[in-house]
Amino acid sequence: MGIVSKQVEAKTVLVTGCAGFIGSHLSETLLSLGYKVIGVDNFDPFYSIDLKMENMEGFKRNKAFKFYQLDLCQNGSLNMIQEEISLIAHLAGKAGVRPSIQNPQSYIDSNISATRNILDFMQKKGIKKLAFASSSSVYGNNPIVPFTEDQNVDNVISPYAFSKKSCEILNHSYHYLYDLDIINMRFFTVFGPRQRPDLAINKFVKLIHNNEPIPMFGDGSTARDYTFVDDTVDGIVKTCEYLFANHSVFNTINLGNSYPIQLSTMIEVIAKNCAVTPIINQLPMQAGDVEQTYADISKARDLIGYSPKVPFEEGIDIFINWFKNKESAVISAKI
C-alpha cells in the first residue's frame, strides 16, 4: 500500500482517533510499513469503549506504537507527548450528521476547538505536516456532480458539516501564518470491518442478521459514494508520503470511490449476500441528510496517485464475513 520511503524508519506519525474505525486501520497500516505511531484517543462514549479496545487489538502491543489517552478539547492536553513527531494524521472528532443537529456545541468543541489545539501544538513543537480528515458533508446538496474540490461549499446543511468546513478554513490560516504543510482529505462514506455500529451498513447487516426491519429514510433514491476502508487508508498513507516529499503545501482532495450507490441498492446487495428478504420500514427523510454524495477523484489521482481498488459489492462481502466471524466469536465466548 503506497510507496515505502527509504526514510520511513526515522518518521513518527501521530494518529488522533487511533482507536476508531479509520484510525485503527491507519495505525495498523503505518506500523506495517515501518513507521512509528503515536496514538491518541479519548474513548468518547459515542459508541462502546470495548469495541474501540478491540479495534486496537492487532497493534496496541507493537513496540513501534505508543498510546496516550487524552482529550484534545482540553487546552494543553497534548503537552504530555514528548516524542519527536514528523507528521500528524488528525482523524479524531465527533462524527454523525443527525447527532450534530441535537447537540451542535459538542461538535464545535470536539472538531473545531480540538483541531485548533492540534494546530497550536504543531506550531509550538515545530511540527510542519498535517493530514486532516474532513468530510464529503461539506458539499451539502450541491446539484453539480461529481463533487470537485473547487466547488463552493458555503451551503452546508448540518452542524457536523459546518464544523468540518470550519476546520478546513482554520487549517488554511495556520498554513498561512506558520508555513504548515496541510492537506484536507474529504472522506466519502467509508465502510468495512470495524465500521462504527451507528452507520448504515453495519446497522443494516445486524438488523437483517436478526430478521428485524430496516429503517429506510425516504424512497431509497438517496445515494452515497461508499468507499472501502482499505482504499481510504491507502489515500491517507499516500497523502502522508506526499506531505513528507513536498513543502509549502496547502491542498484539499476528495478520497471517494467515484461510484454512488442508491440506498435501495445498498439494502438489496446486503440482503442478497445474506440470502434473506429484507423487511423495510419506510420513513420520511431526516433533516441534515444530503441527497447524494459523488466524488470526483481526479485531483487526488493526479496529486498523490490515489486509485481505489475495492468495488462496493466486494467490500460488502468482506464486511459481512467479518461481521459473521465476530458474531460467531461472541457466541463461542458465551458458551
160 is catalytic: yes
- Other C-beta atoms within 10 Å of 20: how many? 28
Contact 148, 296 (CB under 8 A): yes
State the burial class of residue 80 (Cβ atoms within 10 Å of its Cβ: 0-12, 13-18, 19+).
exposed
- Strand-pairing partners, residue 14, are 38, 88
Asked if 147 and 214 touch (Cβ cutoff 8 Å), the reply is no
Determine phi and psi for 179, rounding to 5 degrees.
60, 40
- From the list 125, 112, 133, the residue with the least C-alpha distance to 178 is 125
Active-site residue, from 35, 139, 160, 174? 160
Scanning the structure block, which residue is given the C-alpha cell 448540518? 158
Q: Could you tell me which residues come within 8 angstroms of residue 296 by beta carbon, excluding any fewer than 6 positions away?
A: 146, 147, 148, 149, 254, 258
Query: What are the residues whose beta carbons fall under 8 Å from the beta carbon of 271, sequence distance 6 or more?
Result: 208, 277, 278
Instruction: Kindly give the interhelix angle for 200-209 and 263-274, rounded to the nearest 10 degrees.
Output: 40
**DSSP 8-state symbol, 232:** H
Mark 175-200 as b/e (b = at least 16 C-beta within 10 Å). beeeebbbbbbbbbbbbbbbbbeebb
Task: Give the catalytic positions in this structure.
Answer: 160
